[in-house]
Structure 1
Amino acid sequence: MTFQSEVQECAILVLLDLCAEGCGLCDTIAPILEEIAVEMKGGIKVAKLDLGENPELAAQFSVHLIPTLAFFNGGIVADVFVGAQPKSTIVKWVHRTLLTSL
């Protein structure tokens, strides 16, 4: 995936999982994000970005802790969520962000 084509140029809201290989907490929320991607298909796009392979983006978005979830609207960060939480908490954040970003 290229950040520009998959996130910045996407016509719908993008939920970007900023993670790293070998991160246990990142692995914990990965199935949750896959479920959200299926449940909200067409409404939002869920993408994943390995910060170990893209350290410049970690610096650009000041990511200091992972997992970090970032919502992008028109290529601009609309909201950020840091840490591993249960699905219900992440879904509430997604819905709140959707309401404020539309």
Structure 2
Amino acid sequence: MATVATTDAKFEADVLQADKPVLVDFWAEWCGPCRMIAPALEELSEELAEQVQIIKINIDDNPDAPTKYGVRGIPTMILFKNGQQAATQVGAMPKSAIKAWIEREI
């Protein structure tokens, strides 16, 4: 399963009401490090499909969610479990580090 895009309007349904942990990638088109981690997140969404859903939200098009969750720099990845913010990681990381972080947190 590939990463899915969400919006402010769909955030609650897609993330907070999800039946498994959700990793939200807060990103923007102009962000180089965001584009750098995108392929890794695509691969991880396939590899970890049973354990976690990976969702992306463009902060330029959807300002409400990043404001609500205190996103100040991008890329920021926030892991939600049972509708609650469980862990946050700011900045680009290699795929192996992202995977280890997800597995540790879920």
Give the aligned partner of residue 69 of structure 2. 61
- Pair 1:73 & 2:81 matched: yes
* Cα distance per residue 1:39-65 (max 9 Å; x no partner): 011211010001111112111111111
Q: Which runs of 4+ in 1 moved over 4 A?
A: none
- 1:31 lines up with 2:39 in the alignment: yes
* Structure 1 residue 45 corresponds to structure 2 residue 53: yes
1:89 Cα deviation after fit: 1.0
| 2:24 corresponds to 1:16 | yes
Task: Structure 2 unaligned segments of length 5 or more: list them.
Answer: 1-5
| Superposition TM-score, scaled by structure 2 size | 0.88
Residue 94 (structure 1) aligns with: 102
The structure carrying a bigger helix percent of its residues is 1
Secondary structure of 1:32 counterpart: helix
RMSD: 0.8
CA distance in 1, matches of 2:26, 2:83: 15
TM-score (norm 1): 0.92
Task: Return the alpha-carbon distance in structure 2 between the equivalents of residues 57 and 80 of structure 1.
Answer: 14
Could you tell me which amino acid in structure 2 is paired with residue 50 of structure 1? N
Q: Structure 1: which 5+ runs fail to align? A: none
SS in 2 for 1:43: coil
Give the % identical residues: 37
| Match of residue 91, structure 2, among 83, 88, 93 | 83
SS at match of 1:47: strand
Secondary structure of the corresponding residue to residue 52 of structure 1: coil
